[in-house]
A and B are shown apart, each in its own frame.
Chain A
Amino acid sequence: DSGVTQTPKHLITATGQRVTLRCSPRSGDLSVYWYQQSLDQGLQFLIQYYNGEERAKGNILERFSAQQFPDLHSELNLSSLELGDSALYFCASSVGTGDGNTIYFGEGSWLTVV
């Protein structure tokens, strides 16, 4: 168990809908990352937050947004869902953002769009 908690574990929703994925980082970790894993693209970095502020942005669609709250938990919001958004979404956390930081992954939220 990495200590990173993600909910829900599984989610099935229809095209056009909106969902929110939730992540609690490991105790003491200030940095949160979101990744998307699909069969054809592998693990793709979406976005990173550090202590409530956005730090880096990857291949995140405009339909997706995220935030990190004062208690350090984070949410990833996915809207106007399309079939191609079906994937495993991982949250990860680390203590800081600098060199030598180990990044720990949660178990993922499996999203199926039908």
Chain B
Amino acid sequence: QKEVEQDPGPLSVPEGAIVSLNCTYSNSAFQYFMWYRQYSRKGPELLMYTYSSGNKEDGRFTAQVDKSSKYISLFIRDSQPSDSATYLCAMRMTGANSKLTFGKGITLSVRP
């Protein structure tokens, strides 16, 4: 079993839809949870950063972490064609080892 599992997709939604992206993980030591967005052939860019359980909102994006279920989600409201990209969840433990463990990513396409 991989440490981080992410629905492989791809996912296609109409413009304006609410998108829900999810990851599950097996390592209970993970404390920091991130979502990165990656456009085709570009580097991943940090979208959301959450510590431990709870919700975090930034504009149209909401990140949720449920540590009891080892489950994280990213919600995108009022999705736009410019949101079309690959979304990767990532997580790491506390301490000096800042290694990120990534999900494989899901490709989202928002249709105009």
Contacts and interface: CB of A to CB of B under 8 A. Distances in A.
A103 B43 contact: no
B44 A105 contact: yes
Contacts of A48: 98-99
Contacts of B105: 42-43
Interface string B34-57: 001000011111100101000000
A5 to B, nearest CB: 11
Nearest to B101: A45
Interface string A95-109: 001111111111110
A43 B43 contact: no
Contacts of B21: none
Interface size range on B against A: 20 to 34
Nearest to B98: A97
Contacts of A106: 43
A58 B100 CA distance: 10
Contacts of A44: 102
Given A43-B88, A103-B46, A104-B46, A98 B95 contact: yes
Nearest to B42: A107
Interface size range on A against B: 20 to 34
A94 interface: yes
Given A2-B45, A108-B42, A101 B104 contact: no
A99 B94 contact: yes
B44 A90 contact: yes
A81 interface: no
Interface of A: 2, 4, 31, 33, 41-45, 48, 55-56, 58, 88, 90, 94, 97-108, 110
Given A2-B43, A48-B99, A100-B51, 16 more contacts: A31-B98, A33-B98, A43-B100, A45-B100, A45-B101, A48-B98, A56-B98, A56-B99, A97-B97, A97-B98, A99-B94, A100-B32, A101-B98, A107-B42, A107-B43, A108-B42
